[in-house]
């Protein structure tokens, strides 16, 4: 990209960011990013987060989704009613009541640590707002997103309780129908969610699997 165009792009992004109502709301509420409102809106609709649950968040940093889950597990009452475990390759600023693990969920060593802190039977909900580093090449980006979705689905098939739920970010476009079909093989109900806090021009959307089927 020529230097002039790149400079204009950065200016346009900064202007949009500073005038984004969700950015302002996040600052007012003390959320670490505007992404908090995406999860909040989905949970308002689907009632995924309930006190007493064990919830695992993959790729949690910087922690805005973690903040929403923490609030909805009853932290405002000064007691976290449930268990919230986060996993990320990057350290995250601590949040009271949250067990934050640093590691790659694709590695056996990390999974062994997770297994020790999960309750018997697994967790009730897995959530992930992860996305790959984008190259701008649609086919390559779709393949990277697909790999993440498959890995998250494989993780959930092992660590979720039967009847549990999985919420992941994905992109509309190439491969999307195959991702939906892979979900349908694992869950009783599969839903597509595009929260208002997700920018209209973005291909970002969310796949929600409800009711993990019993393991064969």
Active-site amino acid positions: 169
Residue 125's DSSP bridge partners are 55, 165
Token digits for 82? 């449930």
| Sign of the alpha-carbon torsion through 107, 113, 119, 124 | negative
Q: Which of 144, 123, 149 is nearest to 132 (CA)?
A: 144
Q: Report the alpha-carbon angle 142-146-147, nearest 5.
A: 120
Q: Supply the Cα-derived Rg of the chain in whole angstroms.
A: 18
Strand ranges in the chain using DSSP code E only, listed in sequence order: 54-58, 83-88, 99-102, 123-128, 160-171, 187-193, 204-212
In order of 24, 118, 199, 205, the CA distances from 21 in angstroms are 5, 37, 11, 20
DSSP-based three-state secondary structure for 38: helix
């Amino acid at each position: 990209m020529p230097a002039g165009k790149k400079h204009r792009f950065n200016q346009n992004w900064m202007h949009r960011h500073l005038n984004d109502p969700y950015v302002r709301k996040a600052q007012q509420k003390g959320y670490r990013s505007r992404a908090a409102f995406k999860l909040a809106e989905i949970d308002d609709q689907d009632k995924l987060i309930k006190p007493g649950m064990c919830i695992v968040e993959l790729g949690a940093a910087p922690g805005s989704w973690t903040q929403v889950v923490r609030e909805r597990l009853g932290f405002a009452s000064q007691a976290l009613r449930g268990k919230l475990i986060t996993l990320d390759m990057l350290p995250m600023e601590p949040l009271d009541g949250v067990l934050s693990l640093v590691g790659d969920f694709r590695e056996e060593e990390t999974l062994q640590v997770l297994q020790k802190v999960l309750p018997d039977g697994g967790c009730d909900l897995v959530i992930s707002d992860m996305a790959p580093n984008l190259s701008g090449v649609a086919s390559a980006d779709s393949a990277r997103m697909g790999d993440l979705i498959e890995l998250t689905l494989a993780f959930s098939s092992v660590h979720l309780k039967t009847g549990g739920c999985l919420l992941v970010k994905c992109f509309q476009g190439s491969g999307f129908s195959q991702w939906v079909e892979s979900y349908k093989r694992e869950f009783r109900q599969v839903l597509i969610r595009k929260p208002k806090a997700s920018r209209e021009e973005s291909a970002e959307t969310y796949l929600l699997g409800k009711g993990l089927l019993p393991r064969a």
